[in-house]
Amino acid sequence: GNSVTQMEGPVTLSEEAFLTINCTYTATGYPSLFWYVQYPGEGLQLLLKATKADDKGSNKGFEATYRKETTSFHLEKGSVQVSDSAVYFCALRYAQGAQKLVFGQGTRLTINP
Amino acid sequence: DGGITQSPKYLFRKEGQNVTLSCEQNLNHDAMYWYRQDPGQGLRLIYYSQIVNDFQKGDIAEGYSVSREKKESFPLTVTSAQKNPTAFYLCASSRGQADNQPQHFGDGTRLSIL
């Protein structure tokens, strides 16, 4: 079946550190891949996406590359800020008649000043 | 501004009671979704609707019901048959079935049992 596995949190970093949150997936066919961010008490916001192999999604200094050979979509940022503290979700969408998203369990990120 | 509005933000239910969570969108999106989020877990799909007057069960539909009488509205009823309803409920919508159309989320409703 389709599934997403994220690195377990929580992750705690100092401001300006380099961030990587690992995400791997299992899917039939060629899914689209997404990273969503959830700030405390809020819904999810789309952070970035990639719809085919070797695509790189980027937004707000975050990047992720769709790697079909390793079935991965790792999230990276070169220099994190305190305002990046949130829960990050990796997700895939398989387009077989409906847009059904499958989410990873989420990774809580805390950035200390 | 266009967006998704969920209400109420917090909801309390007594044992044996049905409660309905509201979700309204003014994005003119065809598809709408309901997810449940439990602490430390990802989102799980409850129900989804691709078009007015049509909806399908997701992965955890038991104890829930929905309706889609209008394009902009997709209310979720948590029935007394749902034995563990305490969770954070998120509504989402998307433009259609094209693969590059992302889902947009509301701010959620937190349901607790009294």
Mutate: best of A99, A105, A107, A108, partner B, most B CBs <10 A: A99
**pLDDT in the model for residue A73:** 98
Q: Does A34 touch chain B (CB under 8 A)?
A: yes
Region class of B63: left (phi > 0), else alpha (psi between -120 and 50), else beta? left
* Confidence band for B99, pLDDT divided at 50, 70 and 90: low
**What's the pLDDT tens digit per position in A64-111?**
999 999 999 999 999 999 999 999 999 998 765 566 788 999 999 999
* Confidence band for B95, pLDDT divided at 50, 70 and 90: confident
Query: Which of B41, B45, B103 is nearest residue A105 as measured by Cβ atoms?
Result: B41
In SS3 terms, chain B reads as CCCEEEECCEEEECCCCCEEEEEEECCCCCEEEEEEECCCCCEEEEEEEEECCEEEECCCCCCEEECCCECCECCEEECCCCCCCCEEEEEEEECCCCCCCCCEECCCEEEEEC
Looking at per-residue pLDDT, the higher value among B108 and A41 belongs to B108
Q: Does B38 touch chain A (CB under 8 A)?
A: no
Cβ-Cβ contacts under 8 Å, A99 against chain B? 31, 48, 94, 97, 101, 103
Q: Is the pLDDT of residue B16 over 60?
A: yes
Interface contact flag, B50 A98, Cβ < 8 Å: yes
Average pLDDT over residues B66-80: 96
Interface contact flag, B40 A43, Cβ < 8 Å: no
**pLDDT in the model for residue B98:** 63
**pLDDT in the model for residue A68:** 93
